[in-house]
Structure 1
Amino acid sequence: MALLTKSRSKVEYEAPVHLRLLYAGKRLWTGNNRLGLGAREILKALGPGFLVSVGYMDPGNWGTNLAAGAGFGYQLLWVILVSNIIAIFLQIASSKLGIATGKDLAQLAQEYFPRPVVMAFGVTAVLAIMATDLAEILGGALGFQILFGIPLVVGSIMTAVIVMALLGLSRWGFRKVEYVVIGFVSIIGLAYVYETALLHPSWGSAAFHVVVPQLSSGSIMVAVGILGATVMPHNVFLHSYLSHQRLSGPEAPLTERRQVLRLAKIDTIAALNVAFFVNAAMLVVAGAVFYHHVNANNLDLSTAYISLIPVLGTFAAIAFGIGLLASGLSSSMTGTLAGQVVLQGFFHRSIPVWVWRTITLIPALVVAALGIPTVQVLVISQVALSLQLPFTIVAVIVLSCRRDLMGKFTDTRTITIIHILLALLITALNVWLIYSYLPL
């Protein structure tokens, strides 16, 4: 715990007006009411988990699942299951941190860590979010290109403008934005339900590979790619922020915090299990259509939809494009929110949303104008995330162990050991992933 040399600041944090408007979350506790765990309360609680879950269905995941299915059939389905379990543990840890303290990870790091650590942590977090947003904007642009033949440059601008318009719905309550994101998640899921219904894949074989780990020659690197990019830093920051917005206020009683945490766990588990089934469906479709039929090395998001047409028909290719567009738009929305949380928490800078959106749009326009292959961009973005992720995970673990900060929510020794093992696994896999892309 040597990093924790800075005492807790007594200055109360207050988000800037534009950020408070951007997330005027649905309070689950309004004073004297008792918060239960019935269907009505659970439905009210759904939202933050689904906002986070779109990061597990972003264009980067599409590319990785496509490579896994096309190259190795159903063999790596178990990797998606393991990835989902890891994600649930870490996202719940992030959510608990926010609920226990009433502050997000960026604020807590700024208060408790030494200034040099804070600067390194903050700068790398901003760069990682920008890299993530680059891939997500290009994913949306690629969806527009597939569906309407729109050039990537124009599609990137359209994606950014639509994202800003959708985030503008928060003026009438952020619940509207949550509904939009849940709608996008539904679209992605329905696109793959439609494609799997057309395929009639071997469900027995798929179920076998979900529970029986197997690796073959050449599949290790793809498996590492899936696992190493499981948890993205911006999701951890965002979840720690969204979760405490469900409290009635900074002085919320312990009983309320415990109930909100229970509901947050249900929300997180439900949302990430939806993400698991969507990712598994992506891999199953890729395995059934492309395995042994298409050279996996020549397949990417910009060509896969063309290969679907002879096998599943034009409507399946359209469903692929619609799902990819929904993925790019929804994940770009959450990336924008995360950027605001990180900038305010670390640097106390109130940058308007449209300015941040413009800044993160520029790299996508440059990439699209230069004609850089989208797969290369996705690889670079994953490497950037890999470099930052250990900072984020270690910060969550260290802060969650502080009894003076977490109180009754302090992690038990067992949970701490599990989190440390997961952090070591993810860090090792990310180091391996980075090493694999270094020129030798």
Structure 2
Amino acid sequence: MALAQAARPKLAKVRAGSVLLGPAFVAAIAYVDPGNVASNISAGAQFGYLLVWVIVAANLMAGLVQYLSAKLGLVTGMSLPEAVREKTSRPVRLAYWGQAELVAMATDLAEVVGGAIALHLLFGLPLLVGGLITGVVSLGLLLVQDKRGQRPFERVITGLLAIIAIGFLVGVFVEPPSASGTFGGLVPRFQGTESVLIAAAMLGATVMPHAVYLHSGLARDRHGQPEGAQRKRLLKVTRYDVGLAMLLAGAVNLSMVLLAATNLQGQEGVDSIEGAHAAVGQALGPVVALLFAVGLLASGLASTSVGAYAGAMIMQGLLRKRIPLLLRRLVTLAPAIVVLATGVDPSRALVVSQVVLSFGIPFALVPLIKLTGDRNLMGEHANHRVTMGLGWVVASVIITLNVALIWLTFTG
């Protein structure tokens, strides 16, 4: 009896803390979108366990980046785009917004195309029709956020994240990967130009620019700009929020690579999502293939909604302009519909879109690291020197990989 009474305050404290979780799980959708599926499946099918280390490193980087983004929103009461606006001149701001919009379109392309492929796999719908349906459903999810607020939107997105996790983790349990191959894949190395391209795509699909912009606004909108002890408590809760969300996203991403490395390596035609789906069905059975397709559909629907939400936050923060939700959705949807209508290989378009995202990462990371290290802006919560060092290492690794990609592409 006494033990039960002693445990109650602790249980109540855990419950109170869990209510504050959520923003990181919305941002984490960006880390398990259809672009991740395409790049991770391509990595495992073409190179086996070679690039396992990229997934692990990318998720560690993402955890640090997402915490810094949330911290910026909680401490300053500004989203990252708003903070950039305060620090830049109008010409720089407009140029910065231009690249951010290109990144948002590349993001939407991957997510809508992924949703279209999933609907084709599940119901045999033409890709163009599937893309339009994905766009319409994502608009409905955005209306939930617009009309009902952030909490219901978080619940819907977190539910879709659970479906994604089930859809992609099951295959690994049905056919466990090689332990020696998995641990061997933790050694950083490449194998030719194509492996660098895939690694850049994996990195772009994991440390996604729009998620960096978005998390600062999500944390601010959920918690406001707390002060004193409440702020310290929320920053502590945010570390758990980010850690749990990145752990789940990392497990899903790793499962994709391991699934392909175990069951698809060396097979022809499995470098596309459709080919991978068919091969998974042959190797692991129709139930696993069905869950794979359902996970892909949930990924497309959730991630395109979150991506459009981020695009609106970027425009509002940098330009202080709001445009109607429907118009915003149509603008970012257009490139994906063009790709689907013109017959471009959708899986290849997904991978290339992730490379575009990789090039947009430094434009989000460099301002984030500088701003969160600014004592005039962040006060006592400015980054520690170790955190600043790690942040600059992350940015340097990503920029170096992009430069290497350009060099190898044009000289290889």
Give the alignment's TM-score, normalised by structure 1: 0.86
Corresponding residue pairs, total:
401
> What is aligned with 1:261?
235
Most deviating of 70-79 and 103-112: 70-79
Which of the numbers 240, 244, 259 marks the counterpart of 1:270?
244
* In 2, Cα distance between equivalents of 1:265 and 1:45: 11
* In 1, Cα distance between equivalents of 2:407 and 2:21: 39
Instruction: Write the mapping of 1:120-139 to structure 2, written as runs, cut at 5 A.
Output: 120-139=95-114
* In 2, Cα distance between equivalents of 1:346 and 1:334: 18
* In 2, Cα distance between equivalents of 1:324 and 1:236: 23
> What is aligned with 2:383?
411
- The CA deviation at 1:262 is 1.0
Check whether the contact 2:44–2:264 (CA below 8 A) recurs between aligned residues. Answer: yes
> What is aligned with 1:235?
211
Question: In the alignment, residue 306 of structure 2 is paired with which amino acid?
Answer: T
> What is aligned with 2:280?
308
Pick closer, same or farther for the CA change 1:222–1:388 going to 2, 3 Å: closer
Pick closer, same or farther for the CA change 1:260–1:437 going to 2, 3 Å: same
Instruction: Write the mapping of 1:34-433 to structure 2, written as runs, cut at 5 A.
Output: 38-170=13-145, 171-202=147-178, 204-205=179-180, 207-209=182-184, 211-213=186-188, 215-216=190-191, 219-247=195-223, 249-250=224-225, 252-292=226-266, 294-295=267-268, 299-433=271-405
* In 2, Cα distance between equivalents of 1:37 and 1:87: 30
* Structure ranking higher in helix proportion: 2
Task: After the TM superposition, list the runs of 4 or more consecutive aligned residues in structure 1 that deviate by more than 6 angstroms.
Answer: none
Question: In the alignment, residue 295 of structure 1 is paired with which amino acid?
Answer: E
Check whether the contact 1:156–1:365 (CA below 8 A) recurs between aligned residues. Answer: yes
* In 2, Cα distance between equivalents of 1:288 and 1:207: 10
Deviations 1:19-42 (A, max 9, x none): xxxxxxxxxxxxxxxx99932133
Deviations 1:4-62 (A, max 9, x none): xxxxxxxxxxxxxxxxxxxxxxxxxxxxxxx9993213321221111111111111111
Question: In the alignment, residue 243 of structure 1 is paired with which amino acid?
Answer: A
> What is aligned with 2:7?
none
- The CA deviation at 1:115 is 2.3
Most deviating of 365-374 and 187-196: 187-196
Check whether the contact 2:117–2:130 (CA below 8 A) recurs between aligned residues. Answer: yes
* In 2, Cα distance between equivalents of 1:219 and 1:155: 31
- The CA deviation at 1:89 is 0.9
Check whether the contact 2:182–2:258 (CA below 8 A) recurs between aligned residues. Answer: no
* In 2, Cα distance between equivalents of 1:36 and 1:359: 47
Question: Identity over the aligned pairs, expressed in percent?
Answer: 38
Question: In the alignment, residue 177 of structure 2 is paired with which amino acid?
Answer: P
- The CA deviation at 1:352 is 1.7
Check whether the contact 2:112–2:336 (CA below 8 A) recurs between aligned residues. Answer: yes
Most deviating of 271-280 and 430-439: 430-439
Question: In the alignment, residue 280 of structure 2 is paired with which amino acid?
Answer: L
Most deviating of 348-357 and 209-218: 209-218
Check whether the contact 1:50–1:271 (CA below 8 A) recurs between aligned residues. Answer: yes
* In 1, Cα distance between equivalents of 2:397 and 2:180: 28
Deviations 1:196-220 (A, max 9, x none): 2321333x32552365445555645
Any idea what SS the aligned residue of 1:349 has? coil
- The CA deviation at 1:375 is 2.8
Question: In the alignment, residue 166 of structure 2 is paired with which amino acid?
Answer: L
- The CA deviation at 1:154 is 0.8
* In 1, Cα distance between equivalents of 2:213 and 2:84: 11
* In 2, Cα distance between equivalents of 1:220 and 1:383: 10
Give the alignment's TM-score, normalised by structure 2: 0.91
Question: In the alignment, residue 285 of structure 1 is paired with which amino acid?
Answer: L
Check whether the contact 1:37–1:263 (CA below 8 A) recurs between aligned residues. Answer: no
Pick closer, same or farther for the CA change 1:37–1:50 going to 2, 3 Å: farther
- The CA deviation at 1:119 is 1.5
Task: Please report the RMSD computed on the Cα atoms of aligned residues, expressed in angstroms.
Answer: 2.2
Any idea what SS the aligned residue of 1:245 has? helix
Q: Show structure 1 runs of 5+ residues with no match.
A: 1-34
Any idea what SS the aligned residue of 2:222 has? coil
